[in-house]
Amino acid sequence: MVSQELLEILRCPACVREKDGLLKLERESWLVCQDCGRKYPIVDDIPVMLIDEGDKWVQTSIEGLPVPPPAR
């Protein structure tokens, strides 16, 4: 599980320069950007904060996200 302290400082790498880029923990395995909707998986307790990874899941509904996320 990702620590609460880390969750408070992480921001969406695609949005952070122009917006808040706040992330919300969803389904205990995903960080979802509240600005752009990119979804970043948490694999082995490590958030995968790559823009390309977030782009892969942007069209997937929160309910449709696989739990656990697929390993890279």
Which sequence spans correspond to the domains of the chain? 4-64
* pLDDT of amino acid 62: 97
- 3-class SS of residue 18: coil
Task: Please check the confidence at residue 12 and state whether its pLDDT lies above 90.
Answer: yes
**Confidence grade of residue 1 (pLDDT, cut at 50, 70, 90):** confident
Global confidence as pTM:
0.93
State residue 71's pLDDT score.
81
CA end-to-end span of the chain: 18
Do 40 and 48 contact (CB within 8 A), yes or no?
A: yes
Q: Show the tokens assigned to 5.
A: 């302290």
Going by the DSSP 8-state scheme, the letter that residue 71 receives in this structure is: P
pLDDT in tens, 18-72: 999 999 999 999 999 999 999 999 999 999 999 999 999 999 999 999 999 998 6
Pick the CATH number of 4-64 from 2.20.25, 4.10.260, 2.60.40, 1.20.120: 2.20.25
